[in-house]
Amino acid sequence: MTIRIATAGPADYPAVLELNEGAVPNVNSISESTLKNLDEQSRFFCLARDSANLAGFLLALPESASYDSPNFRYFKDRYPRFTYVDRIVVSEDHRRRGVGRKLYSALFEEVRHSTPMVTCEVNLIPPNPDSLQFHENLGFREVGQQESERGSKRVSLLICPLQSG
């Protein structure tokens, strides 16, 4: 199976939203207007495709984004420069086949000269141990935890320092 990475655009929104909805609660549900707003502010929004299907996507924002997420604000309050992974989703059929790693590799290559780190969060409540292990294997480390949605969610806040060059 050959996976190609390509820049996402408005024509991809329906497929991205469908894949995103299938990944709730590991990612939050979003509307098309929210996706459009995130895309317009994004530093990186790419798709992974096999010959026929959307295998996954990754959407990342710069520290300058106007975004009301408490997790984004956590990083904005503590780090002057970063790229924030708002969401990465890999389809059920493509998990454990290197798709997420390819998406992150493309992100790291794109931003390594413009930002010192990539940040993200992974759910602890509800638990998402596979994602936590995946991110740790990529070099992310926890810098904090926080609760949201009146304690129904708890996340591990992660950073991955980048080396330019």
Closest CA to 60 of 145, 132, 15, 69: 69
Mapped onto helix, strand or coil, the DSSP state of residue 40 is helix
Q: Which domain holds residue 96?
A: 4-161
Domain count, the chain: 1
pTM of the predicted model as reported, rounded to 2 decimal places: 0.95
Please give the structure tokens belonging to residue 4: 């190609």
Residue 152: predicted pLDDT = 84
**Looking at residue 151, what is its pLDDT?**
80
The set of residues, in sequence order, having a beta carbon less than 8 Å from that of 65 and lying 6+ positions away, is 41, 42, 72, 84
Burial environment of residue 119 by CB neighbours within 10 A (0 to 12, 13 to 18, 19 or more): buried
At 103-161, the pLDDT tens digits run 999 999 999 999 999 999 999 999 999 999 999 999 999 999 999 878 889 999 999 99
pLDDT band for 61, please (50, 70, 90 cuts): very high
Q: What is the CATH number of the domain that holds 76?
A: 3.40.630.30
pLDDT at 164: 64
Burial class (CB in 10 A: 0-12, 13-18, 19+), 124: middle
